[in-house]
Every structure is written in structure tokens, then in C-alpha cells.
Amino acid sequence: MPDLTSNTAGIISPNPFWLASAPPTNSGRQIMRAFEAGWGGAVWKTLGQPIQNVSSRFGGIHWRGERAAGFNNVELITDRSLEANFKEMAEVKRLFPKHAVISSLMVETKEEWKEVVKRSIDAGADGIELNFGCPHGMCERGMGSAVGQEPKVNQEITSWVKEYSSIPVLVKLTPNVGDIVPHGLAAQAGGADGVSLINTIKSIIGVDLEKMAPQPVVGNKGSNGGYCGAAVRPIALHMVAALARDPGFNIPISGIGGVTNWRDAVEFIALGSSSVQVCTEVMLRGYRIVEDMIDGLTRFMTEQGYETIDQMVGKAIPAYSEWGDLNINFESVAKIDAEKCIGCNRCMVACHDGAHQCIHPNPDGGLTPVVDESECVGCNLCEIVCPVPDCITMTEVDNGYAATTWNEHMTSGTKIRPKKGSHGYDMP
């Protein structure tokens, strides 16, 4: 039986699944229910001077029948008093001493930071997370992403908190920057014990075409919000990996962004996360989703022979390469399994209109299109659009060229294979 215990910068939890700081962690009652459901940790809904919210607050991308494939919100930090929150936090820690409770904070002045850090520690929090990420509302008041986007400010406030904190401090980073690395390094320079990322992405989820206003519409106007949910996962994975592989960055990461199940979680762990945080999927389906996250992760680790979470952390980072260091002479072509093909021709139209015009109608009139392998560039598009599992496979071709990279080619003139891909062919 693998050990799911997770250690993120000294914050220990029985499994790597934490609730992110968000509506599901708004109160002690909710967090206790979540822990009962199986969650290993919870980052409290960000504490600071209580705010007033607008209604409505959320928006969803409903795509081809799927509700909320992407999600956004214009909700701010807690609207409840610090006193009530810290009192509940202490109660949660008393009843669930082995679960991780992380106090998320967002205030303005150094004095305020000192106060909320002290009260978090007094409540028994296992760690502190600095919300330098919120891209709506709070940033207009000089907090949230307004801090996270300025490495100097990030570093300075982090160092304030470190000055007062005896427990681990994570800095939550905003993805609303050109390159995440300097921001992770700033947190590290400020003394952070770890970082968590990503916070939400500044977004307009849609436009109400009747009211002609951005959604969610508050009365007759809308504002930009924070984008999250399954749709943002690729962006989050990249940012996590960019920090994990940076030689100058060497503090732990708690990964966030579109985690919906155990598989997503393993991907974050493989790219350098010690724990993962989940919000949107819980908002859409409830705390109970953690049940299969635990079961699926356990089965995966057993099958693959991993005994601890640490053994998987960053496991895919060595294979994360610059484009210029990929083997440019590696060649694959699409093979269509005629036994499985159902004749929808989606590969053909995709290849013709969106790729390299190398999939053609069957010359014998059969329903399976044929691949002109002499022109197939191995781009994968056909395999992506094919609705039948394992019908199209990308198969390696031995072209006789020794492995080399673009960078090697540019520096040492290594030989690269000739280009393929028909240009200008018209489908009959």
C-alpha cells in the first residue's frame, strides 16, 4: 500500500489533495465536512478586512454539452469577520489535528500582516499562504495580483511575513505575468518556504448578447474576473514546470489549476508539485470527488511501483525540454486501423484543411481514408480528431537519419531529414 502522505515545505497532510482558498473553504463547518470526505488539507478562504461582494459572481463556459468546462468568478476575499474565521480555524485544528490547515491572507500594511500572521499561528494553522494572485477587485485596491505582478513588492511583503511567522509560508503566484520564473524567484528571495500556483487568470468569461455586457452581469454591467476550471490546466502545468525546472528555484510547489481527478493531480506532481489544490471541480460537484482521487492515485502508485508521493514529484521534469533540444530527426506517421475505422472522414477533412493534405479518400471506394506516408508529417491532428479509440496511431518511422537537434544543427551542422508535407494539394 503506497503512502499518500504529502509534505509541502513542512506542511504535512495525510494525502496531497488540498482544497484551494475559495468558496469551498469559506467556513470551519465546510472544511470539517471536507476533511470527513477525505481531503488532506484546506487553504482557508482568504482572510483580510471583510468585503462586500456583488451578485452574481460566477460564470461558466458551457461547451458542446459540458457545463462549465471553464469557470470564472468576480468574488473577493472573505466577507466574514477575522474573529469568526480564526475561532473556527482553531476548532477545525482541534478536531482534525492531522489534517493541514493553511491560512490564506491578504492585507495591506505591515502592521496588518503582523496581526493576521500572529492570529493564524495562534489558531493552530499549519502554514500560511499569501494571496498575491487575485486578478479582480482586490488588485484595484493595491492587493492580490497587484502585489504578485511586482517582484520587488512580492519579495518585500514575503519578507515581512517571514519575519513574523514561525510556520511555513507559501506565496500564491498569479499567472497574469509574462514569465512566471522571476516571480517565483522573488518569493524565494523574500524567504518563502514554498509557492503555490496558479491563481486565476484575468478573463471575461463571455458576453451576454441580449444585454451586451460582459458576464457575469451585475445589474447591467460586468467586470473581468478570474478564469479557472479544467480549461486552464495546461497553462498551470506549464507554469508549475517552468519553476520546477529552473535551476535557481529550489523551494517546494503546491500545484493549482484545473485539477479534476487523480490523473490531473499526478500530472501536477510529475511536473514538480508536492501537493495539489482543487477548487472549481469541488464547486461543481462537491467534496465527494476526493474519494476517487484517493482511490485512483493509490491504484496508480501501486501499479507503477511508487511508494511515496515524493518519489513522483518532478518525475517528468527531466523530459521537459526546450524545443531546440528535441530530436528533430525523429519521424512518425499516422496509421489508420481499417478494422476500427467508422468512415466519418474527420481525419481527412482535418488533414486537408488544417494540416498537410496527406489523407485521401480510399481509392477503392472503401470507407477508410488512406494516409500518404510520404507526405505525412506526423503532426497528430488526425489522431486527435478521430472519435474511435486507438484507431489512428502515430507510428515511428526509421528514416535512417541519426538523432540530432535543431540547436546541434545550428551549432555543429548536423544533418537533418528532408521536410515533408504536401502544399497546395486539392482534395478530389
Partner 1 sequence: MNQKLPANRAELVFEDFKKPYSEQQARAEANRCLYCYDAPCIQACPTEIDIPTFIRRIANENVEGAAKTIFDSNILGMSCARVCPVETLCVGSCVYNHMDASPIQIGKLQRYATDAAFDAGLSFYEAGEDTGKSVVCIGGGPASLAAAHRLRRFGHKVTIIEKDHYLGGLNTTGIASYKMKADRSLTEVEWLMSIGGIEVRSGISVPDQMSWADLQAEFDAIFVGFGLGEDSLLSLEGADSKGIMGAVDFIAKMKLGMVDLSSVQHAIVIGGGNTALDAVRELKGLGIDNVTLAYRGGEAQMSGYAHEWSEAKREGVSASWRSQPLAFIHNNGKLTGVEFQLMDENKKAIDGQTKTLNADLVLLAIGQGKLGALTSGLTGIEVEKGKIVTDAHGATGAKGVYAGGDCRNGGKEVVNAVAEGDQAAQAMHTFIMGGGSCRT
Give 55-64's long-range contacts (Cβ < 8 A, gap of 24+). 55/218, 56/216, 56/217, 56/218, 57/216, 58/216, 58/283, 59/205, 59/206, 59/215, 59/216, 59/225, 60/205, 60/229, 61/205, 61/206, 61/229, 61/231
Smallest distance, partner 1 to C-beta of residue 158, A? 46
Minimum CB–partner distance for residue 381 and partner 1 (Å): 14
Q: How far is the CB of 378 from partner 1 (least distance, A)?
A: 21
Q: What angle do CA 198, 84, 120 make, to 5 degrees?
A: 55
- Give the nearer residue to partner 1 in terms of CB position, either 178 or 387: 387
Report the residue number, 62 or 94, with the smaller CB distance to partner 1: 62
CB of 211 to partner 1, least distance (A): 17
Residue ranges that bind partner 1, judged by CB under 8 A: 64-65, 340-346, 348-349, 361, 367, 387-388
In whole angstroms, give the CA distance from residue 96 to residue 100.
8
How many helices (H) and strands (E) would you count in the chain?
13, 20
Q: Is 51 exposed, middle or buried (0-12, 13-18, 19+ CB in 10 A)?
A: middle
State phi, psi for 418 to the nearest 5 degrees.
Answer: -70, 155
Q: Which helix (H) or strand (E) holds 100?
A: strand 100-105
Please name the helix (run of DSSP H) or strand (run of DSSP E) that holds residue 58, with its range, or none. strand 58-63
Catalytic residue flag (residue 391): no
Mode of pairing for the β-strands spanning 11-13 and 6-8: antiparallel
| Under 8 Å between Cβ of 407 and 326 | no
Shortest CB 391 distance to partner 1, Å: 9
C-beta of 41 vs 70, nearer to partner 1: 70
Whichever of 171 and 350 has its CB closer to partner 1, that residue is 350
By C-beta, is 66 or 295 nearer to partner 1? 66
Active-site amino acid positions: 134
